[in-house]
Chains A and B, each alone.
Chain A
Amino acid sequence: MNLNLLLQLAVSGFLLGGVYSLIALGLSLIFGVMRVINFAHGEMMVWGMYVAYTFLLWTGVDPFFSFLVSAFVLFILGYFLQRTIVNRILDFPEAMQVLPLVGMAMVFENSARIIWGPDYISPQSRFALSSLSIGNLIIDTPRFLAFALAIIITFAVLLFLKKTDMGKSIRAAADNRLGAFLVGTNVNQVYAICFGIGTACVGTAGGLLVPIMPLSPHIGAPFTLISFIIVILGGMGSLTGAMVGGFVIGVAESIGPELITNIFHGIGLDLDFPQTMKQVVSFFILIVIMILRPQGLLGGKKG
């Protein structure tokens, strides 16, 4: 077994897991408060990427700074999406809530295609190609920066929810919508801001991913799926759960195939676990967790 390779895979998976956490955080926040699943989440992330890219083109500011612009634009987008569409469907049966948001996903994807074109774009940016080496281990600088910033932002959001008045209102509205309404909270406003924060998180993650991944309008859907897995894994609505889930999935997808291939070889099977099936690893973990702990790793009793 090549330990060095496994360690390398674990490190890059862990770093990407940080960004996954931030993406899933947005989804979890929205679900936890409004009980709506944002099926346009991945597509909104792609918009975050394109905003950062456009800003880079116009001003030359590196995506590691301009992610703030992505966050801002996506906040506004999320705010108005909540006000115009999501707010109307809050009391609908779940199956009916899905459709408008899946529809929005298509609108986001194809409008990106019209605005920015279908081609893959890998913009030149300052850190895109740098890496650090520690012994045999290579640490990708943009991935490390994205990881660090994602963690900082995740903590900032958690702190915001715990300490500020708006954060408290959001939590109150999440606990009991009617109760919050009765004590004078402007629930609609709070919901819209909360949705905006959720989409701002994913916009930020998008900005941070620009130096790491080529942009194309269609790349959002797998991210919706992966953040969905992470959120269920960590516990629906639990924000720390989303963080932990992000790391678990990041590492599992990265080392899973190689580790399983090694196990196959170890027990004398001449079989390779194909890299193509790495999502099988995350789904397998998801199923195991669902059987052993249906409420998710850090989910409350209510599930």
Chain B
Amino acid sequence: MKKMNRRTFLKYSAAVGTTTAISGFPTFLRAQPPEIKIASLQPVTGVISDIGISMRRGNQMAVDDINARGGIKSKGGAKLKLLLGDTEAKEEVARNEAERVINEGAVCLVGPFLSGNAMTIATLCEQRGVPFLMDVAAADNITRKGFKYTFRVFPTTSKFADSMLFYMTQIMKEHNVSKIRGVVTNTGDLFGRVQGATFIKTLKEKKFPIEVIGHIEYPLGIQDLSAEVSKIKALNPDVLFPVARPGDAKLMIRELYKQRVKLQAIISPGSPGWYEPEFIRDMRALSDYVMDNLPWVNPLGKMYKEVNAAFSKKYPGKYLDTNSGYAYLGVLVVADALERAKSTKADDIVEALKKTYFKQDLMVGLAVNFDARGDNVNADTALVQIIGQSLKVVLPSKAAEAKYVYPMPKQLWERGI
């Protein structure tokens, strides 16, 4: 190779200089609205990457839609730029990734699925003074720490439990059921634990006529539920109340089938696993009559119809669900706050978020409105049921697409599979 001497060096520097002058420099002079960076932190790899990826898609689609509509108008049409972070479903990684996106200039963080991850991000955001909006993370205690920079559009676990009891009251009244003996199962991560425990605690506090005869916990990402289902069978409950995730939900249904566990119903107090298209695709008739108490999409909403159509078109075989829906809504709420704040300073954004009253018909529940803790007071759930291998909102009655079926007319193994 030719050695570089003074002349060639000069030649190259001149060339580089000219190129910079022609291409790079003038962009500084052009009056372009600056980009506003926000970050999406989701568990896109690791044990819950299926949901993490679906949520990142929700976040990204919302950003793209806002930019397509002209960006943040109060900032001269500034476009949003979404920085992507991967929490790998691990707390320490979640913290590092949050640190990274803040250092890269994110003015507001959105995410993540998984309450444990959300807790570490919320703590960091409090230290660094960066607004953080949780799109899906339900554990009560995150917003009970008195954080000033943390907000949540998703319902809390107490809200889940209250609505669950509300729907159960109606079902029990309409079917003259005076008492139910139930088994509660949940995964062993922060959300699973809090969701299972809050449901049981609320039942006890309200002296609700559901007796919990067993509470079984198993690790997140478990690959064999035969022992757990054998225990359920030995307890012989009327109704199973599972808090699950996509993998163990399928394992559970198959094991219940194989071990011939007799149940009147399977009603989740609120968890993933029971509503994803893959659940219905793989379980077919076995998925029928499963109920789930969920912050679901509003099937009658105009916004829902538009967003869902675009989502299904972009990702064939998928539909907008709890997670992707709230991921989309979360970004809209941040954009709305930026619009009203007319600033990218943390305190201005927080002030704007506090005053949020964001009307939406994407998800069930009313306009997004935060209380003093930062929780969305109008977040709500619906009871959905799989009927004829299609997902229907069954309660509350005013939003119902179909009448719920209780008890299950056929046990799992009587369905001709």
| Pairing of A with B | yes
Q: Which residues of A are interface residues toward B (Cβ below 8 A)?
A: 2, 4-5, 8-9, 12-13, 16, 109-110, 113, 117-124, 128-131, 133, 138, 140, 143, 212-214, 216-219, 222, 253-255, 257-258, 274-276, 278
> Which one of B104-112, B199-207, B212-220 is at the interface?
B212-220
Q: Please measure, in the bound complex, the distance between the C-alpha atom of A131 and the C-alpha atom of B219, giving whole angstroms.
A: 25
Residue among B224, B231, B251 making CB contact with A16, cutoff 8 Å: B224
Question: Which residue on A lies nearest to B216, using beta carbons?
Answer: A275
Complex CA–CA separation, A239 to B114 (angstroms): 41
Most-contacted residue by chain A among B227, B259, B276 (CB, 10 A) = B227
* Residue B351 is within 8 A (CB to CB) of chain A in the complex: no
A254→B223 contact, CB < 8 A: no
Sorted nearest first, the 5 A-B pairs with minimum C-beta distance are A276-B188, A118-B49, A131-B258, A12-B226, A118-B50
- Min Cβ gap A267→B in Å is 21
Are B227 and A216 touching (Cβ within 8 A)? no
Q: Which residues of A contact B254 (CB under 8 A)?
A: 122, 128-129
Complex contact A258–B227 (CB within 8 A): yes
Q: Which residue of B lies closest to A13 (CB)?
A: B227
| Contact A218/B45 with A12-B230, A275-B227 known, Cβ cut-off 8 Å | yes
The one of B46, B223, B258 in contact with A222, judged by C-beta atoms closer than 8 angstroms, is B223
What is the interface of chain B, defined by CB distance below 8 A to chain A? 44-47, 49-50, 52-53, 188, 216-219, 221, 223-224, 226-228, 230-231, 234, 246-247, 250-251, 254, 257-260, 276, 278, 282-284, 417
Quote the shortest CB–CB distance from B262 to chain A (angstroms): 13
A216 touching B50 in the complex, CB below 8 Å, given contacts A122-B282, A128-B254, A131-B258: yes
Q: Are B49 and A113 in contact (CB under 8 A)?
A: yes
Alpha-carbon gap, A275 to B45, bound state (A): 26
- Shortest distance in angstroms between A144's beta carbon and chain B's nearest beta carbon? 11
Residues A129 and B417 in contact in the complex (CB < 8 Å), given A138-B258, A140-B258: yes
- Is A222 in contact with B228, judged by CB distance below 8 angstroms? no
The answer on a CB contact under 8 Å between B230 and A9 is yes
How far, in Å, is B217 (CB) from chain A's closest CB?
5
Q: Determine how close the nearest CB of chain A comes to the CB of B49; give it in whole angstroms.
A: 4
List 13 additional contacts besides A274-B188, A275-B218; criterion CB under 8 Å. A5-B234, A113-B49, A119-B246, A120-B247, A121-B278, A123-B282, A131-B259, A133-B260, A212-B224, A216-B247, A254-B226, A275-B227, A276-B218
Report whether B217 and A214 are in contact in the complex, using a CB–CB cutoff of 8 Å: no
- Contact between A12 and B284, CB atoms less than 8 A apart: no
In the complex, how many angstroms separate the beta carbon of A111 from the nearest chain B beta carbon? Answer: 12
Closest residue of chain B to A211 (Cβ to Cβ) is B254
Asked if A140 and B49 sit within 8 Å, CB to CB, the answer is no
Chain B residues in 8 Å Cβ range of A118: 44, 49-50, 52-53
Alpha-carbon gap, A129 to B257, bound state (A): 7
For A4, list chain B residues within 8 Å (CB): 234
The reply to whether A274 and B217 contact each other, CB–CB distance below 8 Å, is: yes
Residues on the B chain within 8 Å of A218, using CB: 45-47, 49, 221
In the complex, what's the smallest C-beta–C-beta distance from A128 to chain B, in angstroms? 7
Q: Quick check: A214 and B247 within 8 Å, CB to CB?
A: yes
Measured between beta carbons, the chain B residues less than 8 angstroms from A113 are 45, 49
- Contact call B259/A138, Cβ cutoff below 8 A: yes
Shortest CB–CB separation between residue A255 and chain B, in angstroms? Answer: 8
A8-B49 CB under 8 A given contacts A129-B257, A216-B247: no
Give Cα A227 to B231, complex, Å: 26
Of all chain B residues, the one with the shortest Cβ separation from A217 is B49
B190 to chain A, nearest CB (A): 13
Q: Is the CB of B231 within 8 A of A124?
A: no
A275, B229: Cα distance in complex, Å:
11
**Which of B50, B226, B260 contacts A119 (CB under 8 A)?**
B50
Quick check: B188 and A124 within 8 Å, CB to CB?
Answer: no
In the bound complex, what is the Cα–Cα distance between A8 and B53 (angstroms)?
38
Q: How far is the CA of A5 from the CA of B229 in the complex (A)?
A: 10
Taking CB as reference atom, which chain A residue is nearest B258? A131
Distance (whole angstroms) from the CB of B236 to the closest CB of chain A: 11
In the bound complex, what is the Cα–Cα distance between A278 and B226 (angstroms)?
13
> CB < 8 Å: which of B46, B217, B251, B282 contacts A124?
B282
Q: How far is the CA of A274 from the CA of B224 in the complex (A)?
A: 15
29 cross-chain CB contacts under 8 A: A2-B234, A5-B234, A8-B230, A9-B226, A13-B227, A16-B226, A110-B45, A118-B52, A118-B53, A119-B276, A119-B278, A120-B247, A121-B282, A122-B254, A122-B282, A124-B284, A129-B254, A129-B257, A129-B258, A131-B259, A133-B260, A214-B223, A214-B251, A214-B282, A216-B247, A255-B227, A258-B227, A275-B217, A275-B218
Instruction: Tell me which residues across on chain A come within 8 A of B258, comparing CB atoms.
Output: 129-131, 138, 140
Residues of B near A255 (CB, < 8 A) are 227
CA–CA, A254 to B260, complex, Å? 19
Given A214-B247, A214-B251, A275-B216, A9-B227 contact (CB < 8 Å) = yes
With A and B bound together, what is the CA distance between A178 and B45 in angstroms?
43
Q: How far is the CA of A222 from the CA of B218 in the complex (A)?
A: 14
Contact of B227 among A123, A257, A274 (CB under 8 A): A257
Please name the residue on chain A nearest to B46 by beta carbon. Answer: A218
A210 smallest CB distance to B (angstroms): 12
- Tell me the complex Cα distance, A4–B247, Å: 28
Q: Can you name the residue of chain B whose Cβ is closest to the Cβ of A8?
A: B230
